[in-house]
Amino acid sequence: MGGQIMRKFLILLSTTLMLGLLGSSAQANTMRCERELISRGDNQGEVLAACGEPVFATQKTIYRSGIPNRRFGTFSVGNGYYADITRRELLVHNRSTVAVPVEVWTYNFGPRVFMREVTFVDGRVDRIRTLGYGHRK
């Protein structure tokens, strides 16, 4: 009898911990601006409309290479070469290189709220990071 109670308690405890971990990871990739919720996959226009101009922004280009992947709309056109309609790629001998724009926007919501850093890869939210407390504007 005591073993069954302990087993149920351990199952309940582990379930509660797992749900807590899942909930915290979901919050890490979302951000609230006024009444809008920004999350991974949103485009820059949506973020700009919901949150306004960032206080700081940086831009860079990264280069990704590798065998083309179907999730980017790549398909075979014969003789081992590939074509990609949705990306500007240099394609040679089953290899591709893609220039991908990366922007990092920083939002300051005031001294009583954490600042947020939003990373865009190819125009879409890739990561939202929580920084320290903001400062007066």
- What mean pLDDT comes out for the span 32-59? 93
Q: What is the DSSP string of 74-100?
A: EEEEETTEEEESSS-EEEETTEEEEEE
- What mean pLDDT comes out for the span 8-35? 64
- What mean pLDDT comes out for the span 17-30? 54
Give the DSSP H or E segment for 57: strand 56-66
Kindly report, residue by residue over 66-100, the tens digit of the pLDDT: 655 444 444 444 444 444 444 444 444 456 677 88
| pLDDT computed for residue 24 by the predictor | 41
pLDDT band at 136 (very low <50, low <70, confident <90, very high): confident
CA distance linking residue 81 with residue 26, whole number of Å: 40
Give how many domains the chain has, as a whole number.
Answer: 1
Range of the domain at 53: 2-133
